[in-house]
Structure formats: C-alpha cells, structure tokens
C-alpha cells in the first residue's frame, strides 16, 4: 500500500507526464485505489481513492509549499489530507481518526528534506533519465505518498477499521 501511494503521488506530481493536471490526479488516485484494493474490498477502496482525488483538489497553497514556505506547507498538508481524514473517520465510525489531518504538519519538513537532496541529481553516476525523477518535487511526492499510504495501512490493517 505504501508503494502504491508513493507512486500515485508521484504520478499526481507529473511523472510520467500525462499531458494534463486532471489526468495526472485521476491516474494517481487510481493507482492508490488499486493499492487499497489489496487491503480492503473494492467499494471501500473506491471511496478512499475518491477521497484521495478530492485531496488532490483541496490541496491549498501547493505551489507555495513547493518553494519551501513553511506556513504554506502546513496549509497544503492539512488541506490535502482533510477529505481523506473525514472519509476515513466516517468509514471507521471513529471521529478520532479525523485527527490524521494533523499529520499534514509534516509536509513542510518533507519539502525541506527533498530540496536538501536536490544536489544528488547532478552526480556523474545518475543517468540523464533519472534526473527528472530525482527532482525535489518528485522526491517530496514520493515521501508524502509513503506517509499517506502508511496512514491508510495503519488505520485499515492494524486497527481493522475497513
């Protein structure tokens, strides 16, 4: 699940290029939904994938967060998790699960880490095709996707809520 979520977020971020933001968001949510289908039934997986898709649209301040603005990063993280937190809490009949939105405060830290890794792109051992994959926004998308996937896995499997 964590790998599917990381890949889905990377697709949403624009790699591989699909030609439109809408298509990237839709494909990213579909990949995450596929990962969810391995840990829950397909109806719940579909509902959660739609919540992830909604989060791709409610992600306020995404552009500013990409540039390292901490306040924008917190807003981006929490607003992108809000639909997923609400749907997860409703599916599990546990209002406390809505607090996963608080994990959004980690997003600015992830952006700072990804920009810190940026010099890796220019090492002689990195092939040209990999430079695009190693862009700071791609690294951040992978890390953020892994966190979202871990949340879904923890809530769904460990707590048996779905």
In this predicted structure, which of 43-57, 68-82, 84-98, 123-137 has the lowest mean pLDDT?
A: 123-137
Whether the pLDDT of residue 35 is over 90: the answer is: yes
Domain, as residue range, for 126: 2-158
Distance CA 140, CA 109 (A): 10
- pTM, two decimal places: 0.88
pLDDT for residue 34 = 97
Q: What is the domain count for the chain?
A: 1
φ and ψ at residue 38, rounded to 5 degrees: -80, -20
Whether the pLDDT of residue 159 is over 70: the answer is: no
Of 144, 137, 27, 48, nearest in space to 92 by CA: 48
- Give the other-Cβ count within 10 Å of 97's Cβ: 21
């Amino acid at each position: 699940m964590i790998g599917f979520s990381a890949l889905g977020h990377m697709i949403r971020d624009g790699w591989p290029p699909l030609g439109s933001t809408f298509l990237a968001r839709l494909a990213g949510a579909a990949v995450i939904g596929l990962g969810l289908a391995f840990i829950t039934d397909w109806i719940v997986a579909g509902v959660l994938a739609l919540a992830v898709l909604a989060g791709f649209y409610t992600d306020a301040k995404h552009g500013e967060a990409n540039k390292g603005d901490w306040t924008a990063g917190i807003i981006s993280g929490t607003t992108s998790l809000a639909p997923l937190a609400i749907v997860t809490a409703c599916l599990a009949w546990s209002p406390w699960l809505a607090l996963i939105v608080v994990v959004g405060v980690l997003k600015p830290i992830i952006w700072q880490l990804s920009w810190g890794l940026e010099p890796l792109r220019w090492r002689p051992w990195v092939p040209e095709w990999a430079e695009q994959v190693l862009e700071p926004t791609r690294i951040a998308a992978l890390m953020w996707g892994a966190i979202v996937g871990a949340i879904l896995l923890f809530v769904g499997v460990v707590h048996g809520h779905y």
